[in-house]
Amino acid sequence: MRIPQVIMALAGTLMCTGCSELTALHSFVPENEAVLDARLPGVWMDGDEMYIVRPEGNGYTISRSQKESAAVYKLKATLLKVGDARIMDLMPAEEDVFQIAAHTPLRVWVDDTKLRIAFLDSQWLRAQASGQLAVQALEGRLLITSPADQVTRFLLTYGGDDRAYGKPVVLTKHP
């Protein structure tokens, strides 16, 4: 791998995981519980940031780019239904032997023209995770190291709670 590719991979990972203070070592959406939402695919904009969401298998691929940069960061995602809530398991799409792909929980609300997203990483949720799951504190972040089934049960219990996230970011669907 050339040095510019390594730098881009590292920068992309920091952009993704740097947004959330709560990540998991294992996927928390079992394949048999993944749901699809037909309203999610498309082009979504937030100022200068563009997200292209495409269905793939039982989940999605997401390409993130900014107007002033040619770099494209690719993600994979699956959805978990928690009552009326949808929780997305977000992780880098490109594998790298020098990185461990962390799974980031994201609450999503989607309608025909708006997509609201909020990282599930509130102080309240991190306190719940610390008390109920195996976690490792890393530079201000909390990495959940519990097995996937325990993380799934945890998110099914707490992920739909309004205290689990902060103010959502609103993306607009581009025609």
Provide the pLDDT confidence category of residue 17 given band limits of 50, 70 and 90.
very low
Tens of pLDDT, residue by residue over 80-122, are 998 889 999 999 998 888 888 899 999 999 998 999 999 999 9
pLDDT > 90: percent of the chain: 75
The whole-number average pLDDT for the span 22-39 is 94
Residue with tokens 């959502």: 168
pLDDT above 90 for 139: no
pLDDT above 80 for 3: no
* Cα separation, 17 vs 165, whole angstroms: 16
> Model-level pTM?
0.82
pLDDT above 80 for 147: yes
62 DSSP β-pair partners: 53, 75
Identify whether the C-beta of residue 28 lies closer than 8 Å to the C-beta of residue 148: yes
Identify whether the C-beta of residue 164 lies closer than 8 Å to the C-beta of residue 83: no
What pLDDT sits at residue 112?
85
- Please report how the helices 123-132 and 148-158 are oriented relative to each other, as an axis angle in degrees rounded to 10: 140
Kindly report which listed range (9-13, 58-62, 151-155) carries the lowest average pLDDT score.
9-13
What pLDDT sits at residue 2?
41
Instruction: Check the CA dihedral 41-26-152-133 and report its sign.
Output: negative
Identify whether the C-beta of residue 130 lies closer than 8 Å to the C-beta of residue 139: no
